[in-house]
Amino acid sequence: MCGIVAYIGGKEAFPILIIGLKRLEYRGYDSAGVALLNGDVNLYKCKGRVVDLENHIGEKNTKGSVGIGHTRWATHGEPNDANAHPHAIDNNELSIIHNGIIENYLTLKKELEKRGHVFKSDTDTEVLIHLIQDVKDSEKVDLEEAVRIALTQVVGAYAIVILSKNDPDTLVVAKKSSPLVIGIGENEFYIASDATPIVEYTRNVVYLEDGDIAVVPRHGELKIKNFKNKEVIPYVQELEFQLEELEKGGYPHFMLKEIYEQPRSIRDSMRGRASISRGTVQLGGITDFEQKFMKAKRIIIVGCGTSWHGGLVGEYLFEELARIPVEVEYASEFRYRNPVINEDDIVIAISQSGETADTLAAIKLAKAKGATILGICNVVGSSIARETHGGSYTHAGPEIGVASTKAFTAQVTILTLMAMEIGKMRGHIPKARFNQLLTEIKGIPKKVEEVLKTNDVIEEIAEVFKDASNFLYLGRGLNFPVALEGALKLKEISYIHAEGYPAAEMKHGPIALIDAEMPVVVIATKMGNYEKTVSNIQEVKARGGKLIALVTKGDKIVSEMADYVIEIPEVDEMFIPMVSVVPLQLLSYHIALKRGCNVDQPRNLAKSVTVE
Question: Which residue in the set 352, 409, 479, 580 belongs to the binding site for ligand AGP (CB under 6 A)?
Answer: 352
Applying CB under 6 A, the span of 60-68, 267-275, 303-311, 440-448 interacting with ligand AGP comes to 303-311
Assess 332 for contact with ligand AGP (CB under 6 A).
no
Closest to ligand AGP by CB, 425 or 605: 605
DSSP designation for 177: B
Question: Which residue in the set 304, 322, 484, 506 belongs to the binding site for ligand AGP (CB under 6 A)?
Answer: 304
Assess 492 for contact with ligand AGP (CB under 6 A).
yes
Residue 342 to residue 370: CA distance in whole angstroms: 7
Residue 604 to residue 612: CA distance in whole angstroms: 15
Question: Could you check whether the bond before residue 252 is cis, i.e. omega within 30 degrees of 0?
Answer: no
Smallest gap from Cβ 352 to ligand AGP, in A, equals 3
Question: Which residue in the set 62, 65, 307, 525 belongs to the binding site for ligand AGP (CB under 6 A)?
Answer: 307
Strands 519-524 and 546-552, by their bridges, are: parallel
Write the single-letter amino acid at 474.
L
Assess 382 for contact with ligand AGP (CB under 6 A).
no
How does DSSP assign 558-593, residue by residue? HHHH-SEEEEE----GGGHHHHHHHHHHHHHHHHHH
Residue 418 to residue 395: CA distance in whole angstroms: 15
* Paired strand residues for 71: 3, 32
Applying CB under 6 A, the span of 121-129, 138-146, 302-310, 385-393 interacting with ligand AGP comes to 302-310
Assess 413 for contact with ligand AGP (CB under 6 A).
no
Closest to ligand AGP by CB, 214 or 376: 376
Smallest gap from Cβ 488 to ligand AGP, in A, equals 6
Q: Under rule CB under 6 A, how many of the chain's residues touch ligand AGP?
A: 16
**Binding positions for ligand AGP, 215-244, rule CB under 6 A:** none
Assess 353 for contact with ligand AGP (CB under 6 A).
yes
Binding track, positions 259-298, relative to ligand AGP; x by CB under 6 A: ----------------------------------------
Contacts with 94 (C-beta within 8 Å, 6 or more apart), sequence order: 88, 129, 132, 133, 143, 162, 163, 164, 165
Applying CB under 6 A, the span of 10-18, 272-280, 300-308, 502-510 interacting with ligand AGP comes to 300-308
Edge-to-edge order in the sheet of strand 40-47: 40-47, 31-38, 66-72, 3-8, 189-192, 181-184, 204-207, 236-238
Residue 601, Cβ neighbours under 10 Å: how many? 23
Binding track, positions 384-403, relative to ligand AGP; x by CB under 6 A: ------------------xx
The answer to whether the beta carbons of residues 218 and 37 sit under 8 Å apart is no
Assess 206 for contact with ligand AGP (CB under 6 A).
no
Smallest gap from Cβ 549 to ligand AGP, in A, equals 24
Q: Which long-range contacts (CB under 8 A, 24 or more apart) does 248-253 make?
A: 253/401, 253/589, 253/593, 253/599, 253/600
**Which residues have a catalytic role annotated?**
2, 607
Assess 305 for contact with ligand AGP (CB under 6 A).
yes
Applying CB under 6 A, the span of 93-101, 214-222, 353-361, 529-537 interacting with ligand AGP comes to 353-361
Binding site for ligand AGP (CB under 6 A): 304-307, 351-353, 356, 359, 402-404, 492, 605, 608-609
